[in-house]
Structures are given as structure tokens and as C-alpha cells.
Amino acid sequence: MFEGFECARVDVGDVELRVRHGGQGAPLLLLHGHPRTHTTWHRVAPLLAEHHTVVCPDLRGYGESGKPPTDAHHTPYSKRAMAQDLVNLMTELGHSRFSVCGHDRGAAVATRLALDHPKSVTALAVMDGIPIGEHLARCDAKFAQAWWHWFFFAQPEIPERVINADPDAWYKVGTRNTAERLGEENFADFQRAIHNPDTVRAMLEDYRAGLGIDREHDDADRAAGRRVQCPTLVITAGQDDMLDLYGDPVQVWRNWAPHVRGTIIDAGHHVAEEAPEDLAKTLLDFLPS
């Protein structure tokens, strides 16, 4: 995977991040979702690296990145903390300004990055995501039934016990997630992550932060009228459930980003693995060179 890329571990403050980076051109940060690691981008990153310097980290808590102790408010796993990690990472790699694309939980981190660090982010692409506070403000029975795992993951102790009892069953190894679908090395990295109880705990902390401190940050931004100032692209997987939940997600994003447009890619939730060529073309058409 990632031929021509360098794999490194970078100290960004209170954690160390595992990161792959390579290519040439304007810097682009790619952020994975749950329960993946940075290797989810292995089919897309080489296509983008022909035109961009591509940086793919494991988010804090995920994969082989640091997993700090939590606190009562789950602050170490807030999207604000993760966003600061990434500003520090890009600075360490020599990039003061960069574009960012985030998928799933990574979309929430990318959004927080654009809101908290507008001078650093030149363009924002979000895949299958709207701001966490917006999700929760719109939460109804349909959302709770479809995305019940958000509320289960936020419970103390029980989710760890359930997932760690059989990680392969929980994460649908052998059916939805196979070496053939993910690629052998990506699948192996994914399996190492879900079989590590410390990683499982940290991934759950991400969701616990989501229902508390992350929503507080989003609600404060909404009340203050803060919005994403850079060009924003909303990418929706046509075979996932965002369209069913929200109709056109771009209309939701108009409350958060004045310079937004959207597109649909005919793929399931993990677009980077299922439709890498379509995703790469979509991003290259959008991103500043």
C-alpha cells in the first residue's frame, strides 16, 4: 500500500500520531472514519498524490495513534482536541495551509478544524456527514433507529464488553468487511485495530464526546453565527442512508457554510474503498491546486 509514501510517527503534543504522507503539490489532509484507520485511503491517496501532497493520519484513539486517558467530559476525545492535533501535525510536516477531506467521524473532525482554524484550512470536503450538533438537533425516531449505535456507544462500560467479546462479529468481518473488499493490507490494519481493547475504548470515547462536549461546541458556534468560511464540498454516498435521513444534505450544510456545493457518488458508506476513482476525480475537480 501507499507506494512512494513515508510512514512516520509524529509527536503533536499530548499524543503521537501514525501518519502516511507523500506526493507533491498543494497539501491535502485525509481523515478516516469509524472503525477504520488511515489505510482506508490506500486506493485513493496514490491517485491524489499525482497532484497533491497527501497526508493520511490515524486520528487520536484510532489505529496506532496515541490513546490518552479520558476525563468526565471526554474532553481528550473531543473533535476540538483532534483538530488541534492535526494543525500541529501539518505544521510539523511544513504545511501552514491545507485542504482537508473527512469521512464519517473524520468529517466531524474536518468540520471542527475548519471552524476552529479558518486561517489554516483552504477547502473542506465532508463525506457522509453533517455537524454533530445538527445531527442531534434533528434527531427523531428515524435517526434513533438507524443510528442507534451513537447512543449505545455513549453508555459506560457495556459497549466495550459487548464489542470485545467478539470484535469480528460486531464489525461484520466475513460479510461486509472482507480482505477482498477492503484490500488485504487495509483489512489486516482494520482487524488489528478492532482486536485491540485500548483502541475499542478510545473509539467509544470519540462517540461519548460526540453526545456531550462536541455538541456543546457546535451549539456555541451556531449561537454565535460562526460558519465555515472556505469552499465546502458535501459528498454523499448514494447507497448509504444520508439521503433518506435528510433529503439533500447540502441544504443542511447551508446553515454552516455559505460556499457549499454537493455531489453524490454511487457507492456504499466506505466510498474510498468502494469507488476510489470516482472519489479521486471528484476531489481533484474541487480542490485548489
How many angstroms separate the CA atoms of 255 and 216, rounded? 17
Per the domain annotation, does 140 fall within a domain?
Answer: yes
Averaged pLDDT score across all residues of the chain? 97
Residue 277 domain-assigned? yes
Among 110, 130, 131, smallest CA distance to 121 is for 110
pLDDT (tens digit per residue) in 23-54: 999 999 999 999 999 999 999 999 999 999 99
- Total of domains in the chain: 1
* Inter-CA distances, 286 with 51, 68, 101, 144, 188, Å: 12, 35, 11, 33, 32
Instruction: Give me the pLDDT at residue 225, please.
Output: 95
Range in 63-67, 122-126, 241-245 the model is least confident about = 241-245
Q: What is the CATH number of the domain that holds 271?
A: 3.40.50.1820
Residue 92 lies in a domain: yes
Judge whether 263 lies within some domain.
yes
Residue 272 lies in a domain: yes
Task: Tell me the per-residue pLDDT of 67-88, one tens digit each, with 9 for 90 and over.
Answer: 999 999 999 999 999 999 999 9
Separation between Cα atoms, residue 116 and residue 207, nearest integer Å: 20
Helix or strand holding residue 21 (H, E): strand 16-23
- In our burial notation (b when 16+ CB lie closer than 10 A, e otherwise), range 203-222 reads bbbbbbbbbebbbebbbebb
Catalytic residues: 104, 269
Measured distance CA(260)–CA(179) in Å, rounded? 36
pLDDT of residue 79: 98
**pLDDT (tens digit, 9 = 90+) per residue, 1-10?**
999 999 999 9
Q: In which domain, by residue range, is 127 found? A: 6-286
Q: Evaluate whether residue 1 is within a structural domain.
A: no
Name the nearest CA neighbour of 81 among 54, 105, 116. 116
Position 227 in a domain: yes
Confidence at residue 288, expressed as pLDDT on a 0 to 100 scale: 86
| Residue 39 domain flag | yes
Helices (H), ranges, the chain: 45-48, 79-92, 105-116, 132-137, 141-146, 149-153, 158-165, 167-170, 179-182, 184-194, 197-211, 213-224, 242-246, 249-253, 271-274, 276-286
Q: Give the model's confidence band at 289: pLDDT under 50 very low, under 70 low, under 90 confident, else very high.
A: confident
Q: Is 201 exposed, middle or buried (0-12, 13-18, 19+ CB in 10 A)?
A: middle
Q: Is the pTM of this model over 0.85?
A: yes
At 51 the pLDDT is 97
